[in-house]
Structure 1
Amino acid sequence: MFDTSISAELVIEEKIDCNDLVNSVQDGRNAFMDKDSGSLTHEAESELKDGLEPQDTQDDRGDPNDPRVRLKRDCVGIMAAFRLKNPSSHHVIIANTHIYWDPEWADVKLAQAKYLLSRLVEFKKIVADKFDCTPSVLVAGDFNSVPGDQVYQYIISGTTSVGAEIAEDLPIPLSSLCAFTRGEPQFTNCTPGFTGTLDYILFSPSDYIKPISYLELPEHESSDVRGGLPNYYHPSDHLPIGAEFEVFQV
């Protein structure tokens, strides 16, 4: 992700377990859940269900209307802080996550996104205080959310409405790398039942780092994605995404 001439030292890391959301349920409610959370259109939901992961067996998990059951989806993330060397000593936080897949459970996906950003804010403060620095932030992962839906909108604006102004209490400012440089790709997930963008690299704009290049993705007509993924050329139904950032001494 960074110039190979720049080495980095891992200085601190934390894991994120979205099942911890269950512990914050009080009186049958959870601070991260929005009961008004909608989902995609019926057509988009059907396409996603056809193309994404198998649906959970809800009978095995319990009553899905109980938030203690609903929030236990076994999704995870990790945050790591690195101190760059040669010549910069700048600190960079890199986080990775996987958000729940089911488009009908938009409230759960949004709760996980809110929890991710809340943990990221706390982690950034820990790093800043411990190393007396202003760390840059990069976030990447499978958000199982298309551009414009509630999870995507919340992460980049702090609101769940398309076209709304950025919230004043935005947990942490993040921009989509692709939207910032060229526009979101046509797709990062490609199956016979669904083709669309679900994976993102996000960064917090600053004077310290700037994206300078990104991994080119195939077009719909490309022979290596014809018929859907996985295949011989791509061993996953998701395409790899990547970018290179330049680090500045400020």
Structure 2
Amino acid sequence: MSIKRRMLPVKDLFPAGPLPTQPARTWTIMTYNLLAQCLVRRELFPYAKKEDLKVKTRYPMLIDEITRVHKPDIACLQEVDCLEELKPHLADAGYDHVFLKRNMEKEGGHGLCIIWKSAMFKKIDYRPLVYDESPLTHPTPINPFTGNVAQLLALGVVQPHTARCSLGVIVTNTHLFWRPEANYERLRQSYVLMSAAAEFKRAILSGSSEFHDSTEIKDEWPIFLCGDFNACPNDAVYPVLLHAPMTPEQEQMIQPVQRPPRDGDPPAPESGDSGARPLESLDNPLPAAQLVAKIQSFPPFVSMTQTYRDADPNHSINPGWQGAERWGGEPTFTCFAVWKGTLDYIFWWDFAVSDKPQVPVNVLKVLELPKVEELVPGLPNKNFASDHLAVMVEIALYA
């Protein structure tokens, strides 16, 4: 049984101005990396009990935590396998879902899943995104095959006694490239996701979406970008997305680098070619500075957990963990295994595509993180089924 975690009140995040006086609609949004069973290796979790790593132990715990303990209105899940085991439990709890496998050609494996309460929301439009198919992020001698994907989903709010959905939200779910040195790859994937989300929103509000009549839409729908970004707040990707200044070290992090080939990389250069050519000749289409400029031509992201430490003054902070003393108000950890740190985020993106009024958004509460003593020496354990922890916020929309 998962340990019960409180929803903590959040203060002074945004917006800067006064909120409207009309009643707000409140929802909870979760992001959660479930730790795919196909990725569980004993050597990765040497501290864990054998029983705590088995699917027969972990999946009942995950199902209980999601559908009975936290009960999010919308949840973005990563590293989802054993989907057939999850489906009936999601349906029994009143959830609909969309699933995207990471590698459609591979038997087995894991993927992404967005779930939502069908009594509250109606699917308006949905698009999968395969990063390796983008001209910007396709595999090259310097840019490896990643297999990473994303989901874009538009949900209309089901009004009482009617099927009309004039108010809605756009949610994206992603799991970015994992290699620690791959900040440049994660930055490129972030830009592809932003561009796709912008185009997706344009389609919804213009009426070119296959599933919706845009004449019903009276306001700009907010966008929430959720997932495992595989980047800590002191990595370069985080400040770029939030339009925060970078340190010299972070500026160096996002420079593309040559490295020895690894399994899954594209073919090496032709025989006789040393490979020591300038980076741009290795089909590296965009220098880092230009990539940052393109990303920051969009509005900044706002992290919904950036004041977590103020909401939870008892949160355990160990300055020795990956430079966590420089992370501002973000949690010290959302992943707690041999490596410990914050990788999981729910971002709000104030991106407008029309002259329709923007729906004001506010964060009301954030899900409490467990105490370190409940997690050591690491996850999974008898109380937590993944090496990541669920991140959840309660938001208010004033429309």
Tell me if structure 1 keeps the 8 A contact 2:227–2:345: yes
1:129 aligns with 2:281: no
Secondary structure of 2:306 counterpart: helix
The answer for the alignment partner of 1:94 in structure 2 is: 171
Q: Deviations over 1:221-244 (max 9, x none)?
A: x32x11111112111111111111
Per mean C-alpha deviation after superposition, the further-off stretch among 180-189 and 96-105 is 180-189
How many residue pairs were aligned?
Answer: 204
Closer, same or farther: CA 167–135 of 1 in aligned 2, 3 Å: farther
Structure 2, unmatched stretches of 5+, are 1-25, 29-72, 74-116, 208-213, 252-291, 311-328, 351-357
Which residue in the other structure is 1:197 paired with?
342
The aligned counterpart of 1:83 is 156
Q: Which has the larger radius of gyration?
A: 2
* Displacement of 1:86: 3.3
Tell me what 2:239 maps to.
153
1:216 to 1:156, Cα distance in 2 relative to 1, 3 A: same
Q: Could you say if the C-alpha distance between residues 202 and 238 of structure 1 is closer, same or farther in structure 2, counting changes exceeding 3 Å?
A: same
TM-score (norm 1): 0.72
| Matches of 1:9 and 1:180, distance apart in 2 | 31
Aligned pair partner of 1:66 in 136, 141, 154? 141
Partner Cα distance (1:241, 1:187) in 2:
11
In the alignment, which residue of structure 1 is the partner of 2:389?
239
Q: Residue by residue, what CA displacement relative to the aligned partner does 1:113-143 show, whole Å, maximum 9, x if unpaired?
A: 1111111111111112122541101111000
Q: Quick one: which amino acid aligns to residue 190 of structure 1?
A: F
Could you tell me how far 1:156 is from its partner in structure 2? 1.7
1:24-60 Cα distance to aligned partner (Å, 9 max, x none): 1xxxxx4x69xxxxxxxxxxxxxxxxxxxxxxxxxxx
Q: What percent identity do the matched residue pairs reach?
A: 27
The CA deviation at 1:207 is 4.1
Name the structure 2 match of 1:228: 378
Moved more, 199-208 or 183-192: 199-208
Compute the RMSD of aligned alpha carbons: 3.0
- Structure 1 Cα separation of the partners of residues 297 and 381 of structure 2: 40
Question: Contact 2:183 / 2:235 at 8 angstroms: preserved in 1?
Answer: no
Conserved in 1, the CA contact under 8 Å of 2:220 and 2:359? no
Aligned to 1:104: 181
For residues 144 and 307 of structure 2, what CA distance do their matches in structure 1 show?
32
1 CA distance for matches of 2:238 and 2:347? 11
Q: What 5-or-longer segments of structure 1 have no aligned partner? A: 25-29, 34-63
Aligned-partner Cα distance in 1 for 2:293–2:157 = 32
Deviation track 1:86-125 (CA, whole Å, cap 9, x = no partner) reads 3683121011100011012222121111111111111111
Which structure has more RCO (C-alpha within 8 Å, separation ≥ 6)? 2
Aligned to 1:143: 229
Change (3 A) 1:137 1:65: closer
Q: Does 1:209 align with 2:361?
A: yes
